[in-house]
Amino acid sequence: MTTPAVARLSSAVREEPVACDGLHAEYDEDSYRLAIPEAGVERETLTESEFETLAADHERYVQNWAYWNEDRADADEAFLRWLEAADETAIPDRYESLRAGTARSWGELRIEVRLVDGKRRYEIRHTDDAGRTDLDRHDEPLDARSLVTEDDDGRYRPLKTAPSLPHGWVFPDLTGRACVETVEYVYPATVANWYLERQGELDVDHWEATIGRQSGIYGVVQTWNRGDSYEHVNWVAEACCADSQCVKRREWEYDDETELDVPGGDGAFPCREPCSLVIAAARKWTRLEGEQEQRYEFTLTPSEKEQVEEIIDAVADGRAAEIREADTADPANRYRARYLRAKRFDEDDNLSGTPTETSE
């Protein structure tokens, strides 16, 4: 019996030779050739009906070709193939895992591809939500845009790749095209840049070049090029681009020749230049770093000094809101902080009574 995919193959092969994932087919002067080496198939001079019968015996190869023969952008195709490890896994094993469902992560997304009635369907959810059955179902890729605007606590997410993706939703049944579209609403431009990187064509703009381009109110960041600016940029990258803050893998460095000391992270997709959030933060730091250091004297007990450090850590790690009300063992606990303030701040909110301006 000739399935539609097989009929498509024989008509396609009359136009030009087909080669896809171990399937090779050719047509020349009324005769067909079909080769699937890993299945031990190697036949020439086949009639159309012999060709179609043989192809139908290896239907998975034909279906696989039919899917990858659909019209789509190069980057989308590479991404969808990557999802099922198409370049590394031969058809029998691949179809085996597709039938069970095979998943990859992309930032905080878990993307699963599986075969349903012989067709690839894609499912997207938060990686943390793997296995959950109580998720809100969505079918429109566009829904993703508003789903990811706020985090679980309802706070606006200005950086789409911050690891604060909200939970509780699932796109259970997407086509390949809709899958890529959904991913792009969650993490814009990541597929395009990932693809360029795979092609060895990612156009990275390092810190120096990106800053050099700025104008208007951001032009001020250019003045941040004193001798120690390399150090500053390390701190910026550590503050903003660490995996705990952003799921992109930072590929930009100080400049063409000077790498930063902090690692770029393990993200699946690259960051090709400092983002607008980092530029805006750098503008603030540029101003702050223009100040001269001064020596202050504070009086604290050893525990209080450690407490100050713990409070900074808790804020920097986004842990402050999680500290339990009555957990006074935690130095960053609210009551502990309020006690410290009551004890060590004077009426002008100066720590241990030491004024900020020491010039009087």
Partner 1 sequence: MQALVVVAHGSHLNPDSSTPTYRHADTVRETGVFDEVATAFWKEEPSFREVLRTLESETVYVVPLFISEGYFTEQVIPRELRLESFDVEQWDSDGTSASSTTLEASDVDKTIHYCGPAGTHDAMTDVIVRRAESVTDNGDVGDGFGLAVVGHGTERNENSAKAIRYHADRIRDSGRFDEVRDLYMDEEPEVDDVSDHFETDDVVVVPLFVADGYHTQEDIPEDMGLTDDYRTGWETPAEVDSTRIWYAGAVGTEPLMADVLLERARDAGADVGSAVEQVRRDTRAGAD
Question: Using CB under 6 A as the criterion, which residues of the chain lie in contact with ligand SF4 when the complex forms?
Answer: 161, 240-241, 246, 248, 250, 271, 274-275, 277-278
Letters for 100-139 (x = contact with partner 1 by CB under 8 A, - = none) are: ----------------------------------------
CA–CA distances in Å: residue 213 to residues 191, 206, 274, 289: 25, 11, 12, 21
Q: Are strands 31-36 and 136-137 parallel, antiparallel or unpaired?
A: unpaired
The size of the interface with partner 1 (CB under 8 A), counted in residues, is 27
Q: How far apart are alpha carbons 343 and 323 in whole angstroms?
A: 21
In whole angstroms, give the CA distance from residue 159 to residue 247: 10
User: Minimum Å distance from CB 358 to partner 1?
Assistant: 34
Out of 37, 42, 73, 346, point to the residue binding partner 1 (CB under 8 A). Answer: 73
- Give me the half-sphere count of Cα atoms (radius 13 Å) on the Cβ side of residue 180: 20
- 142 contact, one of partner 1, ligand SF4, none, CB 5-8 Å limit per kind: partner 1
* Amino acid at residue number 36: I
In the complex, minimum distance from the CB of residue 150 to partner 1, in angstroms, rounded to a whole number: 7
Residue 277 structure tokens = 């959030």
Between 58 and 248, CB nearer to ligand SF4:
248
User: How far apart are alpha carbons 4 and 7 in whole angstroms?
Assistant: 5
Residue 277 within binding range of partner 1, rule CB under 8 A: yes
Nearer to ligand SF4, 4 or 158 (CB): 158
Q: Which two tokens stand for residue 22?
A: 């171990």
246 binds, among ligand SF4, partner 1, none (CB under 5 to 8 A by kind): ligand SF4
Are residues 143 and 137 in contact, defined by beta-carbon separation less than 8 angstroms? no
**Which run of H or E residues covers position 8?**
helix 4-15
Specify the residue, 116 or 189, whose C-beta has the smaller distance to ligand SF4.
189
List of residues contacting partner 1 (CB under 8 A): 73, 142, 145, 149-150, 156, 158-161, 184, 188-189, 191-193, 196, 203, 213, 215-216, 272-273, 275-277, 280
